[in-house]
Amino acid sequence: MLGSVSSNVAELEKISMVYDADGGLKGELTYVFGKMRGDAHCALCDITHGAVRKKSAFDTLSCSLAVPVDVVHRNEQSAELSGFTDGILPVVVGHTAEGMVVLVDREKMEAADGDVDAFAASLTTAMAELAV
């Protein structure tokens, strides 16, 4: 599992991870039934959650990062974040003094195939590249 990622991220102020699903009871149920029907999918959901609850490995990852992490559903985003992420969900966004940047896109999340360690490797690489 990923260790603490505290070096070389001074310019990264915050990370937002945005699901391609709505929050709240209605949103959660819509996603679950859509997934069962095969017409709803969110690669970030697969990374963060098992069949019933959040993966402890994901909680460990979130706590190991040197910056605050917000994990939100698409209907819980700020207007600014929503404008940035429109059409590219799910996505992991880095917030810097210069603005927002994509750290991990849908394709990299799909490649992780629900594996927290593979996702962590992509995120760590993106954070290191941002700090260069």
For residue 74, what are the domain limits? 12-131
Tokens of 92: 């992991």
Q: How far apart are the first and last CA of the chain?
A: 23
* pLDDT classification of 11: cutoffs 50, 70, 90: confident
Tokens of 69: 């992490």
> Is residue 31 a part of any domain in this protein?
yes
> Is residue 45 a part of any domain in this protein?
yes
pLDDT at 61: 96
Tokens of 65: 């990062």
> Is residue 4 a part of any domain in this protein?
no
**Number of domains within the chain:** 1
Q: Which of these, 87, 88, 70, 66, lies nearest to 11 by C-alpha position?
A: 66
> Is residue 95 a part of any domain in this protein?
yes
Which 3 state secondary structure label does DSSP give 79?
helix
Give pLDDT tens digits for 72-104. 999 999 999 999 999 999 999 999 999 999 999
Average pLDDT, the chain: 89
